[in-house]
Amino acid sequence: MAGTKAGGLKAAATNKAKYGREFYAQIGAKGGKLGHTGGFAANPSLAKIAGAKGGRVSRRGPVKAAKKAA
């Protein structure tokens, strides 16, 4: 029953029985502690450089000339 609500509840019950009642609390605590280790939030100067690069390099192709109406 993978992918169904009943399957998820069964998996949660199995994990709690196998690893203890605080299984999901422990996972959540780890995620909260390790969540600020990288990325632009940790290094604002890197974000500034990346933003400048994105501003210089356009992702669009060259502008096409508009056809004149005859």
pLDDT digits over 8-43, tens only?
999 999 999 999 999 999 988 887 677 566 778 778
Q: CB of 7 within 8 A of CB of 1?
A: yes
pTM exceeding 0.85 = no
Kindly list the domain boundaries of the chain, sorted by start residue: 5-55
Give the pLDDT confidence score for residue 58 in this predicted structure. Answer: 66
Cα torsion through 14, 17, 21, 26, rounded to 10: -60
Give the pLDDT confidence score for residue 69 in this predicted structure. Answer: 66
pLDDT digits over 38-69, tens only?
778 778 898 899 888 887 776 666 777 777 66
